Chain A
C-alpha cells in the first residue's frame, strides 16, 4: 500500500515539476518583457528549454530536456564578453541556480538569436556559490 502511494506521489511530482519548470520560464520571460518595455534592458531576453549537454547530467537532471537557454534578441551575434556577463549574472544568483538544478536543468546556455555561437555552463558546479548557499 505504501509502495503504491510512493508511485502515485512520484507521478504527481513529475507533473508538478513540469508545471514549476513552465512557471519559471514564463516568469523569466514576463520579467524580461517588462524590463525591455521599461527601458531597463536594452535587449529582450527569452528563456526556453533546450536539450542541454549530456555530459553535465546530475541526479535531478531531466531525461530529455535539461538545458535552460537564454536567447538575447539582439539581431546580431552577441560578443563573447556580453554572453559571459549574462551567464555570470544568472550563475551568481544562488537561489535561481538551486531552483534550476532541482527542476531538472543541468546546463545553462546563453546565445543570441543570430549566429551559431553561444556559451554553456554546468549548473551543478555553481549551486553553492554565493551567500548562504547550502549544498543540494
Chain B
C-alpha cells in the first residue's frame, strides 16, 4: 500500500517536471513565431515595390515559345541568307533601293534571333527589292 502511494507521488512529481519542460518549449516556439512575424513585417515595405514590378511584368502578355524554339534552330540560317541577299552594295546604282536595303540590313541586325520578324523582313525584301529567294 505504502509502495503504491509512493509510486503515485513520484509520478505526479515527474509529471509536473514534464509540464514545466513543455512550457519552455512553448516559450521558444512563441519567440520563434515573433521573430518570423517581425522579419515578415520588416520586409513588407520593400515587398510592396517588388510586388508592383512583378505584377507589371506578369501582365506584359503571353510568351511565344513556338517562335523562340523555331528561332533557336532556324534564325541563324535565315539571317545569313537575308543579310547576304539584302546587302546594300548589290543595289548600288539605284539610290532608292540602296536606302531600303540599308534600312532592312539595320533591322536584320536587330532581329537576328527572331524567326518571325526575319520572315516579315524577308517578305518586305521580296516586295520592295524584288529579291528571289531559293526557298
Residues on A facing B (Cβ under 8 Å): 3, 6-7, 9-10, 13, 17, 20, 24, 27-28, 30-32, 34-35, 40-43, 45, 59-60, 85-86, 88-90, 92-93, 95-96, 98-99, 101-102, 131, 136
Q: Are B58 and A40 in contact (CB under 8 A)?
A: no
| Nearest CB in chain B to that of A34: its residue | B66
> Which single member of B40, B53, B113, B114 contacts A136 (CB below 8 Å)?
B53
Nearest CB on B from A129, distance (A): 11
Nearest CB on A from B120, distance (A): 14
Q: Are A99 and B73 in contact (CB under 8 A)?
A: no
> Which single member of A20, A59, A90 contacts B58 (CB below 8 Å)?
A20
Nearest CB on B from A41, distance (A): 5
Q: 7 closest Cβ contacts across the A-B interface?
A: A31-B65, A92-B113, A6-B44, A35-B69, A102-B57, A89-B113, A102-B54
Q: Are B65 and A27 in contact (CB under 8 A)?
A: yes
| Nearest CB in chain B to that of A132: its residue | B60
Say yes or no: A6-B40 contact (C-beta < 8 A), given A89-B68, A89-B75: yes
Nearest CB on B from A136, distance (A): 6
Q: Are A35 and B70 in contact (CB under 8 A)?
A: yes
Q: Are B66 and A92 in contact (CB under 8 A)?
A: no
Q: Are A99 and B69 in contact (CB under 8 A)?
A: no
> Which single member of B41, B51, B113 contacts A88 (CB below 8 Å)?
B113
Complex-state Cα separation, A43 to B73, whole angstroms: 9
Q: Are A3 and B41 in contact (CB under 8 A)?
A: yes
Q: Are B70 and A40 in contact (CB under 8 A)?
A: yes
Q: Are B63 and A95 in contact (CB under 8 A)?
A: yes
| Nearest CB in chain B to that of A92: its residue | B113
Complex-state Cα separation, A24 to B60, whole angstroms: 14
Would you mind naming 13 contact pairs between A and B with Cβ atoms under 8 Å apart? A3-B37, A6-B40, A13-B54, A17-B54, A20-B58, A28-B65, A32-B65, A40-B70, A85-B72, A95-B61, A96-B63, A102-B57, A136-B57
Q: Is B76 an interface residue (CB 8 A)?
A: yes
Q: Are B37 and A7 in contact (CB under 8 A)?
A: yes
- Chain B residues whose CB sits within 8 angstroms of the CB of A90 once the complex forms: 68, 72
Q: Is B110 an interface residue (CB 8 A)?
A: yes
Given A31-B68, A102-B58, 9 more contacts at CB 8 Å?
A: A13-B54, A28-B69, A31-B69, A35-B69, A41-B72, A60-B54, A85-B72, A92-B113, A102-B54
